[in-house]
């Protein structure tokens, strides 16, 4: 459903302003490539915070707490 809405939005943009629609079509993969390092940093920080949470909760879990 999301892909269909994206396609309909792009078609509407193409009808209203075709140069902007073509520019968006060309720049979309470049924006995706530029966002990949930021996603990797986000995944790394998420894993780091999960590890820290597990370490801080370990004594409580060993003593029988939830």
**pLDDT tier at 60, thresholds 50, 70, 90:** confident
The per-residue pLDDT for 49 is 97
CB 45 within 8 A of CB 52: no
pLDDT digit string, tens, across residues 12-42: 999 999 999 999 999 999 999 999 999 999 9
0.85 exceeded by the pTM? no
| Dihedral over alpha carbons 41, 7, 27, 36 (to 10 degrees) | 10
The alpha carbons of the chain give a radius of gyration, in whole angstroms, of 22
> Where do the structural domains in the chain lie, given as residue ranges?
2-62
What does DSSP assign to residue 13?
H
Residue partners of 60: CB distance under 8 A and separation at least 6: 66
CB 25 within 8 A of CB 10: yes
């Amino acid at each position: 459903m999301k892909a269909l809405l994206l396609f309909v939005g792009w078609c509407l943009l193409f009808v209203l302003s075709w140069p902007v629609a073509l520019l968006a079509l060309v720049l979309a993969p470049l924006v995706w490539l530029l966002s990949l390092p930021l996603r990797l940093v986000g995944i790394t920080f998420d894993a780091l915070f999960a590890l820290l949470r597990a370490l801080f909760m370990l004594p409580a879990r060993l003593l029988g707490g939830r």
